[in-house]
A and B are shown apart, each in its own frame.
Chain A
Amino acid sequence: MANIQETIAKLLPEATFEEGDILMVNVPDAKWHNLAKELKENKDLSFDFLVTIVGMDWTETLGCIYYLTSTKHNTHLSVKVTTDNREKPMLHSVSDLWKIAGIFEREVYDFFGIVFIGNPDMRRLFLSIDWKGYPLRKDYDESADLNPVTTESERQSDFTDTYVETPDGTVEKKEVRVFAPEDFVVNIGPQHPATHGVLRFRTAVDGEIIKKIDVYMGYIHRGIEKICEKLTYPQTLHFMDRLDYFSAHPYHHCLCMTIEQAAGIEISRRAQVIRVLMDELSRIASHCLFIGTYCMDLGATTMLFYTLRVREQILDIMEKTCGARMTFNYECIGGVMQDLHPDFVKDVKALLEVLPKNIKEYNKIFTGNVIAKNRMEGVGYLSHEDAINWSVTGPSGRASGWACDVRKTDPYSIYSELDFEQVVREEGDSMARFKVRMSEMEQSAKIISQLIDNIPDGEYCVKVPKVLKLPVGRWFRTVEGCRGTFGIYLESNGDTKPYRLKIAPPCLPAASVVDHITRGSKIADLITIGGSLDYIVPDMDR
């Protein structure tokens, strides 16, 4: 940690530092782009993975916190850049360094109105073009009269804005076309069975070849981050179920861990084990559904019935303990809501017995199939470098040879004690992404089998004060969700409600990278590629 601090202090003497769980650097906006370049390219630092950009409104100032990770040294850093101007806030873009920053900055612009100088595409991301106000600002007017529900189709524009800095220091606004005038643009979605939810692609095609995809999001943007600011800490938990509904347990785990860390609550060993068991069970269930729906996208409808058989078995186990099939709301601050059902161990053992047979069966039916091979192998290639540059984490990132499993790189809970392998493949195509998930089910089963026989006794939930107040501070935690690195940024000003709760979902980068991967491939492969990235739309839209 000190080493990074020294190196940065040498590069930029005016930078100030704040200690915390992750070191924070305060950088003036004018120097930010140069420092960012150094941070990424300096061999000693090499912060090549941009985890998220947290937009912030501290009432007097607006700003961004960039969370960076070095995949080479496994070190973390956060950078704070602020601006005093609330009327026309402007910061410098880093979208030329980290590709994914382009989308993250659009999100910040949408929520806070901060314009990024140099970002080629400064449109709103989730809200419509005519939306009034910036919803995550503290002084936002939420009255429904300002932005009423309308059944009139929203206004579309073929142009986007970009802000360029001239040599004499003034900033100019320029209008740029999204597609070239001669492009033939096909609309796919938002209601389309192959987009896995309400996602919309505007696709420019040349015959059958994709030239460019403009991803439209926000068709299920529910403003969860803003609602959380109005609720107490225990009340915010249940929204984690409704983001990525397959990763309900890991997401819950993440927010609970963040709050527990902030409040200084130690949870019992039994609760830790239960949480990990639930995480891994939901990982198997999630990958099962992925395989089923993905195969259905490719035309193999039968697979859905086979994979859902195992999923239903897992849902039964969860239902007995948690009381629900999908939105469990099981983990709570201090442990878990209720103890395991008496049948839990027996049921899980029955599952572990049938699972290997089922995986073998899936491989027999589908993986070796010549049609499946032809449709998946070599389709949608994503290189190692691009995976990091676009922050594509989780199984999709690991299929490109990037060992990014948070359970290994940054072990949380009891993962450091467990014996399992990180599944990494080098091919980077759709087949690899499919196979990684297949092997991950085996690894999850391995973890479960290590724990199931020795669940320690003890209390499942420690006593937590009824009215929970967190000390002033900020925390950032990540976990490995079923689809990649899921992060929670929490800022507290000592109240019972969070001052800011930012959700960093893994599916937003996964959907953003579709444009990059599909360029030059056939339009029929869009379904294969989109399916293999396995994004969940409510997760990216929040």
Chain B
Amino acid sequence: MPYEAWKDNEYIESLVKELQESGANVVVGSLDKLINWGRSNSLWPLTFATSCCGIEFVSLGAARYDMARFGWEVARSSPRQADFIMVAGTIVNRMAPVVRRLYDQLAEPKYVIACGACAVSGGPFKKSYHVVMGVDQIIPVDVYLPGCPPRPEAMIYSIMQLSRKIKVERFFGGVNRQQKQADFLKEHPIEGVED
């Protein structure tokens, strides 16, 4: 995809800038690049869907949209084997502990895409008594994808955006993303569980 076609370059650029502020070692920097190249090109999703968006995710896997082109087709049913979780659909109060547990079970490095209006903010169910208004209340989110449901093209875009984000991540020495994640989890502890 050409550079101009991306929608929020400023965000990724500020991320790169932030990472490069302290400078990078030639060896470590090159190794980082290699590792990130590998990671960003074989993202394995978790088969997880609660409602409508999940069906568009099925379409994404079929021949027409064919996510195998990008190396994402290995949808895993166990969180222990998956790289990212695409929260496709509404998350309700009863489901919240389950989503959190699934997230905790993902092996590092792990990523989250909030897919669809419900996962982003509660969407059409804003007035409900039993809906979590945005999945970012319970797990840290990397990419927000609006739409009700988002088209498969939009889903492709969001996962590509995620792999772009991974490409600028720092594996050795850097704290950037992992630190943020740790901070989030510290702010949102699971009640009743002692570390």
Binding site for B on A (CB under 8 A): 126-128, 135, 140, 142, 147, 149-154, 190-193, 197-198, 218-224, 226-227, 230-231, 238-239, 241-242, 245-246, 289, 293, 304-305, 308-309, 311-312, 325-327, 537-538
Tell me whether A223 and B125 are in contact in the complex, defined as CB-CB below 8 angstroms, given that A150-B191, A242-B51, A245-B55 are known contacts: yes
Give the complex CA separation of A224 and B50 in angstroms.
16
Binds A, one of B5-13, B17-25, B98-106, B170-178: B98-106
One of B48, B90, B98, B191 near A222 (C-beta < 8 A): B90
B50 touches A219 (CB 8 A): yes
Enumerate 28 A-B pairs (CB-CB under 8 Å) in ascending A order.
A127-B94, A149-B137, A150-B96, A151-B190, A191-B102, A218-B94, A219-B92, A219-B94, A219-B95, A220-B50, A220-B92, A220-B95, A222-B90, A223-B128, A223-B131, A224-B125, A226-B128, A226-B129, A230-B127, A239-B124, A241-B52, A245-B51, A245-B52, A308-B58, A326-B55, A537-B50, A537-B51, A538-B90
Which residues on A sit within 8 Å (CB–CB) of B124? Answer: 238-239, 242
Give the complex CA separation of A241 and B53 in angstroms.
12
Which residues on A sit within 8 Å (CB–CB) of B63? Answer: 305, 308-309
Tell me whether A135 and B129 are in contact in the complex, defined as CB-CB below 8 angstroms, given that A128-B94, A149-B93, A312-B64 are known contacts: yes
Residue ID in chain B nearest A231 by CB atoms: B127
B interface, over-half SS: loop
The 10 closest A-B pairs by CB, nearest first: A308-B62, A151-B100, A223-B128, A245-B52, A152-B191, A538-B51, A153-B97, A223-B130, A219-B95, A193-B77
Give the complex CA separation of A169 and B190 in angstroms.
47
Distance from B150 Cβ to chain A, minimum over Cβ atoms (Å):
10
A222 touches B125 (CB 8 A): yes
Give the complex CA separation of A102 and B59 in angstroms.
37
Give the complex CA separation of A246 and B89 in angstroms.
15
Query: Between A and B, how many residue pairs show CB distances below 8 Å?
Result: 134
Encode B183-195 as 1/0 by CB contact (under 8 A) with A: 0000010111100
* Residue tally, chain B, CB below 8 Å to A: 45
Which residues on B sit within 8 Å (CB–CB) of A246? Answer: 55
B50 touches A198 (CB 8 A): yes
Residues 38-66 of B contacting A (Cβ, < 8 Å): 47-52, 54-56, 58-59, 62-64
Give the complex CA separation of A242 and B51 in angstroms.
8
Asked if B149 is at the interface (CB within 8 A of a chain A CB), the reply is yes
A227 touches B128 (CB 8 A): yes
B130 touches A135 (CB 8 A): yes
B64 touches A308 (CB 8 A): yes
B89 touches A220 (CB 8 A): yes
Asked if B86 is at the interface (CB within 8 A of a chain A CB), the reply is no
A227 touches B127 (CB 8 A): yes
One of B62, B130, B193 near A304 (C-beta < 8 A): B62
Which residues on B sit within 8 Å (CB–CB) of A197? Answer: 49-51, 54
Distance from A154 Cβ to chain B, minimum over Cβ atoms (Å):
6
Residue ID in chain B nearest A536 by CB atoms: B51
A151 touches B138 (CB 8 A): yes
Residue ID in chain A nearest B59 by CB atoms: A308
A142 touches B129 (CB 8 A): yes
